[in-house]
Amino acid sequence: MRTGRKYTGSRYHKARKKKKYELAGQARIVKLGKEKRKKLRMRGGKIKTVLLSTDVCNLVDKKTKKAERVKIKNVLETPSNRFLARQNILMKSAIIETEKGKARITNRPSQEGSVQAVLVDEENN
């Protein structure tokens, strides 16, 4: 039987519409480019700073336990969707090329307003 229909063929009707807080927000895509941020008002008056595009990340080297701010050259691969890497979209677990070498993004840039990454061991990949 067609989806959204009863066995008789009549349609199911929603009991109510979605409330404002139940609606999905606009998808924010963080691209590689000149740094651009946006401030959003959240529930309760909280202000969230979101990232729209950036070309730098906070890179942590696990061996030396040092963090520094480095430039992002390119997005190499994105495990969730290979087409996102082609469009240079930054998201969690994406492998990026930096000045120091390959790195993996460990945070959600569209939610937090910055890009955090750790160096990837070359011999393990």
Is 22 within the bounds of a domain?
no
β-pairing verdict for 30-32 and 89-90:
antiparallel
Name the band, by pLDDT with cuts 50, 70 and 90, for residue 34: very high
Q: Is residue 21 part of a domain?
A: no
Would you state the pLDDT for residue 30? 94
In a domain? residue 33? yes
Please give the backbone phi and psi of residue 21, each rounded to the nearest 5 degrees, phi first. -75, -10
Residue 48 lies in a domain: yes
Q: What is the mean pLDDT of residues 16-24?
A: 90
Has residue 71 been placed in a domain?
yes
Q: What is the CATH number of the domain that holds 43?
A: 3.10.290.70
Is residue 36 a part of any domain in this protein?
Answer: yes
Distances (CA, A) of 116 to 2, 22, 30, 61, 75: 46, 29, 13, 11, 14
pLDDT confidence of residue 47: 93
Residue 80 lies in a domain: yes
Task: With residue 56 as reference, give the H or E element that holds it.
Answer: strand 56-61
33 pLDDT above the threshold of 70: yes
2: left (phi over 0), alpha (psi -120 to 50) or beta: beta
Q: What letter represents residue 75's amino acid?
A: V
pTM above 0.85, yes or no: no
pLDDT at 124: 59
Per the domain annotation, does 105 fall within a domain?
Answer: yes
